[in-house]
Amino acid sequence: MTVQRKHSMYHSSVIEADPDAVWAVVRDALALVAIVSGPAAKDVHWVGDAGPERVPAPYNFTLVFADGLVRQEIAGRDELKRLQTYRSLEPTMGVERYVATIRIREITNDPNRCFFDWTRELTIEADADLQVVETIIDMMAKQVDAVRDHFAQR
């Protein structure tokens, strides 16, 4: 894989669950981190008085493979569109800047299924350890499947 200084990603999947049920879970950043990272993330917690009902809402977690602290926040949310934006609060492990948006969309003719979209833009530091950055990007590439699989198990 060739890592560009500006790296964009888009992943989507059909989720075998009602869009409101999916949204109720994934709009909570800590729940989403637990689903997509499992044991690869530790010490997942809100910062200060933040929580799933607040925007902005900072949260931290540590990626186990590199023991790297990730500081992010929920930066925006649209409840009607089931859309939420996240961003990094400081550079970490070679990623200078990170912005991501998740969105859950209805499937018009099947109310018990939905589309889950995840777009991400990463700005990679010029002196980044590309092996670490590639590991992070590889992890991200599998995260939509983790969300799909989480709801398929219900």
Q: What's the CATH code of the domain at 76?
A: 3.30.530.20
User: Structural domain of residue 82, as residue ranges?
Assistant: 6-152
Q: How many domains does the chain have?
A: 1
d(CA 71, CA 10): 22
* 4-63 pLDDT per residue, tens: 789 999 999 999 999 999 999 999 999 999 999 999 999 999 999 999 999 999 999 999
Does residue 10 lie in a domain region? Answer: yes
| 1 within a domain of the structure (yes/no) | no
> Which helix or strand (DSSP H or E) is residue 123 part of?
strand 114-124
Q: Is residue 62 assigned to a domain?
A: yes
The secondary structure element, H or E, covering residue 2 is none
pTM of the model: 0.91
